[in-house]
Chains A and B, each alone.
Chain A
Amino acid sequence: ETGVTQSPTHLIKTRGQQVTLRCSSQSGHNTVSWYQQALGQGPQFIFQYYREEENGRGNFPPRFSGLQFPNYSSELNVNALELDDSALYLCASSLVDSYEQYFGPGTRLTVT
C-alpha cells in the first residue's frame, strides 16, 4: 500500500509569483484535503476535493485553488504569492466516509 506523497519537498518563490504543489493520494482513497501549517501553528484547513470537485473551503482567499484528477491525485495552486504564504503545505487523503486522514510529508514553501 502506497502512502501519500507530495512534490516538491522544498520550494523558494518570489512575492507575486505563482506556485503549484502536487499530491498523490494513498491507494484506495478518494478524498484529498490540503492544509497550511505556519511556524508554531497547527495545520489550517484550506479545502477538500472529492469526485474532482471542491467540497468545503477554509478561510483562505480565492488565489488558493486546487484540482483533483480522476486518479485522485491533486494540485494546490497559489497565485500572487505573499510573504505570509511561507509555510508547510500538507496534503491528506482519506475515504469520503471516514474520519481519519492520512498525511503526506509536506512541501515547505518559502516566499521571499
Chain B
Amino acid sequence: DQQVKQNSPSLSVQEGRISILNCDYTNSMFDYFLWYKKYPAEGPTFLISISSIKDKNEDGRFTVFLNKSAKHLSLHIVPSQPGDSAVYFCAASLGRGSTLGRLYFGRGTQLTVWP
C-alpha cells in the first residue's frame, strides 16, 4: 500500500528553468515531509523538509509547497542546474520518537537538467 506517491518517473528541464517535482500522499496523519536527492552509487541526501503546520519552506534555490487539503506537495528548483540531475524522493513521517520515526518514501522522480 503506497502511502506516498510520485506519479512522474522522470522530468526533463532545460538549465536555468524551473523544475517542479510533485508528490501525493494518502495518510492525513503524516505531520512532516522531506525531500531527498540521490545520485547513482550514493545514498539519499536530505534536501529540504516541511512541517504539516506550514505551507511553504524555502532554502536557497529549493522551495517546498504543501497543500494539506489536496494531500499534495511539490518541490520547486529555481534556477535548475545540470548538477541537480538526480533521482528525487519524497518522504513522509508520522511523527518523531522511537516508534514513529520511520519514513515512507515515494518511488522517486528522475530529474534531468540539460544545458
Contacts and interface: CB of A to CB of B under 8 A. Distances in A.
Report whether chain A binds chain B.
yes
A99 B107 contact: no
Interface stretch (B13-21, B36-44, B59-67, B76-84): B36-44
Interface in B84-115: 89, 91, 93, 96-108
A90 B104 contact: no
A103 B103 CA distance: 12
A56 B44 contact: no
Nearest to B46: A100
B41 A105 contact: yes
A56 B106 CA distance: 20
B93 A103 contact: no
Interface string A47-59: 0101100011010
Interface residues of A, number: 31
A104 B43 CA distance: 5
A96 interface: yes
A64 interface: no
A106 B107 contact: no
A31 B101 contact: yes
Interface in A8-33: 31, 33
A97 B95 CA distance: 9
A102 B36 CA distance: 10
A97 B43 contact: no
A1 to B, nearest CB: 14
Interface string A101-112: 111111000000
Given A42-B108, A100-B34, A101-B103, A90 B98 contact: no
B49 A100 contact: yes
A33 B100 CA distance: 12
Interface of A: 4, 6, 31, 33, 35, 40-45, 48, 50-51, 55-56, 58, 90, 92, 94, 96-106
